A = this chain, B = another copy of it.
Amino acid sequence: MEVTQTVPEKYTTHRVTGEKGKADRIAFPETETEIAEYLLQAAEAQQPIITVGASTGLTGATFPQNGEWLLSLANYRKILALDEETLTLQVQAGVTLAEIQAYLASTAYFYAPDPGSKQATIGGTAATNAGGMRAVKYGVTRENIRSMVVFLADGRKLTVGSLNNKDSSGYDLKDLFIGSEGTLGVITELGLKLRPKPAVTVSVLIGFEHLDDLAPVVYQILGSSLQPAALEFFDREAIQYAEKFLKEAFLAIKGECFLLITLDGPDEESLTQQLEQMSEASESWKKQSFRSLTNEESLRIWRLRGAIGAGIEDVTQQEPLDIVVPINKITATIKRLRVVCLQSNLRAVFFGHAGDGNIHICLLREGLVQAEWEKRLDVVLHQIYQEVAKRGGLPSAEHGIGLLKKPYFREAIDPVKLQVMQQIKQTLDPQNRLNPGKIFD
C-alpha cells in the first residue's frame, strides 16, 4: 500500500475558500485488507482519519484541519460487475461518476443520479447523498444505492443493504451511512441500482415574466400524471454567466425566468403524448414563451444550465448554497432571500431544481476585500438559514453540511435531533476519529 507524508495539495486545499489545511499522511489502499490495516494503524496511533474522494465537495467535508491521516480511494476504483438480472452495478468507491457513465454508455442501462461534478467519486456522492438534475423523477443517491460495504473506525467490516428489493429485517443501516459524510464509517464498495435507458427524451423551455407566474406551473406539473425527468429553473442573469463562460448563446426567447423541463419515455408515441398534455395544460399558464427544443437546442441549453456555477466561479469567488424548502415555499423563499441579500450588500444568483424545492444561491464576492467578504457573508448566512428554517426548509439538499455549514446547521436543527445524531456518532465512533468536527462537534 502506498503511504506518503507528502500529501498532494489537492487534498489540503479547501475547494471553496482556498484555505490551506494540514494532513500528516495519505494512504492509497488497493485491497480491503489494506483498508482495514490502515484503519487499525490509525486506531493504534489514535489518529483521526478523513476518507477523501475527488475533492469536488462544496462544504469542506474532507478538508484536513489538524494533521489528520487521509485515506484516499483513488486506487480503489474497479468496476466489479454488471448484473443484468438484478440491474445492479457493483463498483469500488473510488470510481468516478464519469467512469460509470462511460462504462454504461454501451449498455441498455443507466445510473440515474446526475450531480453537477462528474469527476466526483461514487463513494463521495454516497457520503453526501448527492442529488442532481434527475432527482425529481429518479430520486437522489440514497434511492439509487442498493448496498454498500462499510468499514468502521475500529476496522470492523459490514455490508449494509442488499440486492433484495424489500427489507424488514432489522434496522436500516444503509441509509444511516449514506449522507453521513465519512463520520460514521468508510464506504468502500457500492451496489448501484440501474434502470433501463429511456429510448427518447425531449426538453421544453418555458419563459415567465415573474417568479410568481412560474411557481404554480411547478405545482401543477408535479401534481399531474406527467413525470418530468428534470424540472430546473434559472433566470436571465444566471444563464448569462454560463453564456460568457462557454461562449455560447442562449435562445432568442421571451422571459425573465425560465423552467427547463425534460421528459423521457420508452418511445416517440409516449413522448408526443406527454408533450401534448403539457402543451394543453400550458394554455392556462401565465407564461411568455413555450418552446419544445430541438435536439441541438436541448444539448446547448443543458450545457448552459450545467455551466452556471463554473461561469460564476470564472469571474469571482463565490459561496455556493444548496438550500431546500417544501416545494410550495419556493417563491416566497426566493423573494425573501433576494431582499436579505440586498440588505446585506451581497450580490447573489439564484437557480436550481424547482421540482425538488432545491434552490442554489451563489453569493458573489466580486471586489470585496477578504475581511469585508467574510463579515457580510457571516451576517447573510445566518439570516438565510434562519429564513429557510422558518419555512420548514433545510440547510443542505445535496452538498452536505461539512465544515462550512456547521454553525448554521447547529442553529437550524432541533436540539433533540442533534443529540440523537451525536449519540449515534458516539456509539459507532467512540474515539471520534472518523472525520472529526464535520457536520457537528
Contact = CB atoms under 8 A, between A and B. Distances in A.
B396 A168 contact: yes
A289 interface: no
Residue from the set A222, A324, A420 with the largest chain B CB neighbour count within 10 Å: A420
Given A223-B196, A420-B158, A420-B173, A327 B86 contact: yes
A277 interface: yes
A184 B424 CA distance: 12
B397 A164 contact: yes
Contacts of A322: 168
Nearest to A178: B172
A367 interface: no
B328 A166 contact: no
B358 A169 contact: no
Contacts of A87: 222-223
Contacts of A353: 166
A159 interface: yes
Interface stretch (A205-213, A265-273, A298-306, A307-315): A265-273
Given A129-B167, A196-B225, A423 B417 contact: no
A140 interface: yes
Number of copies: 2
A427 B427 CA distance: 7
Contacts of A168: 128-131, 179, 322, 396-401
Contacts of A267: 225, 273
A321 interface: no
A326 B162 CA distance: 8
Interface residues of A, number: 92
Interface stretch (A98-106, A251-259, A408-416): A408-416
A357 to B, nearest CB: 6
A440 interface: yes
A6 interface: no
A346 interface: no
Given A166-B398, A199-B225, A424-B428, 13 more contacts: A86-B328, A129-B167, A129-B172, A135-B166, A169-B396, A170-B401, A171-B179, A171-B184, A172-B178, A172-B179, A173-B421, A175-B175, A225-B267
Nearest 10 CB-CB pairings of A with B? A225-B266, A85-B328, A166-B397, A175-B175, A163-B326, A427-B427, A165-B356, A169-B394, A158-B416, A168-B396
